[in-house]
Structure 1
Amino acid sequence: MKTTKTLLLACTTFLTTVAFAQTPARNASGSAVPMKSYGEKIVPDGAVSVVQFTKMMDGRDSLRTKLACEVITSCTKKGCWMDVQLPEGKVMKVRFKDYGFFVPTHGLEGKTAVLEGTAYRETIDVATLQHYAHDAGKSEVEIAQITEPQQSITFTADGVLIGD
């Protein structure tokens, strides 16, 4: 009986350690990338690639997930959104749950990010697209060229990690 309890305790301790261990994100060369946290505390473990994410979104209106991606740009006014790279040159807008947190307004381009939250399909109206273009520092000419609503996948993040 004592051996069974000892074995059970050892297994529980091992599984708890494994479950709560934080594995740092890694870059292409396999080196650990230090990450800054915004919003709810999350860990990079279990994040899917953008290719996996795109496949998982096929035929769905929404998906709760954790995603590893590359940042293209962020809102230059407040840091209230960022764009991330998807396959085939597509871009996904990331907003932050209840505007409860913001990310840096500059210097995120090309950095690795891990997002945890909900992705969903939506139609973005012209006024909102023009607002995003203005926040991104686009010229008045570029903003005026936005005349059609856009179908897209948008992500509402509960928490974000961004590599230094």
Structure 2
Amino acid sequence: MKGFNILLVFLFTGFTAFGQNNTVNIDAKSSFGASFTEIDVVSMDKMLEKYEKLKVKDSVSVKFKGKVLEVCQAKGCWMTLQLNDGNEAMVRFKDYGFFMPKDISGKEVVVNGLAFVEEMSVDDQKHFAKDGGATQEEIARIKEPKRTFGFEASGVLLKN
């Protein structure tokens, strides 16, 4: 009888495992962080205009759409988004509450949060370059602080 019970446990486990649906339905969008609607989303052109009007330490609450240029390869804790005219925005995630997949470069996202302008130190630039997979030569070329466009995202929609 003991052998029969063990057989039943194995059969039950086996049927349960085979009964699982291993396919993932990919929605048109994947959401990370706090949810939000896509109402009043700003284009890359309009976002660049907003950034150019901001002073260091000013911020504005906004949603904007952009193309992912780079994602932190250490754990997905930041990403850069393309703006027009060769500019980019460094996106970090509110309270490190969520991370992005590391393989989304080239995909379109909508971010919701606070846009700001900051003066990024040499050390921070080198840190982000290293996380992004830059070579030692590229990191060594970073020698002075630079004015950057930052964004603290409370939520991100990844378009598929």
Q: Same fold (TM over 0.5)?
A: yes
Partner residue, 2:24: none
Number of residue equivalences: 131
Q: 5+ unaligned residues in a row in structure 2: which ranges? A: 1-26
Between the aligned partners of 1:153 and 1:45, the Cα distance in structure 2 is 23
Partner residue, 1:140: 136
Which whole-Å deviations, capped at 9, do the CAs of 1:76-123 have from their partners, x for residues lacking one? 0110000000110011100000111100112x1111100000000100
Between the aligned partners of 1:50 and 1:116, the Cα distance in structure 2 is 14
Matches within 5 A, 1:49-64: 49-60=43-54, 61-64=58-61
**Cα offset for 1:45?**
2.5
Structure 1 counterpart of 2:89, which letter? Answer: M
Determine helix, strand or coil for the equivalent of 1:55. Answer: helix
Which whole-Å deviations, capped at 9, do the CAs of 1:34-60 have from their partners, x for residues lacking one? 111000012223211011112233432
Partner residue, 1:15: none
Between the aligned partners of 2:158 and 2:105, the Cα distance in structure 1 is 11
Deviates more, 1:111-120 or 1:39-48: 39-48
**Cα offset for 1:145?**
0.8
Determine helix, strand or coil for the equivalent of 2:154. Answer: strand
TM-score, normalising length from structure 2? Answer: 0.78
**Cα offset for 1:129?**
0.4
- Match status 1:161 vs 2:157: yes
Identity fraction in percent: 37
Determine helix, strand or coil for the equivalent of 1:89. Answer: coil
Q: Structure 1: which 4+ aligned runs deviate by more than 6 Å?
A: none
Between the aligned partners of 1:96 and 1:58, the Cα distance in structure 2 is 22
Note the aligned Cα RMSD (angstroms): 1.2
Deviates more, 1:111-120 or 1:38-47: 38-47
Partner residue, 2:85: 88
Q: 5+ unaligned residues in a row in structure 1: which ranges? A: 1-32
- Match status 1:97 vs 2:72: no
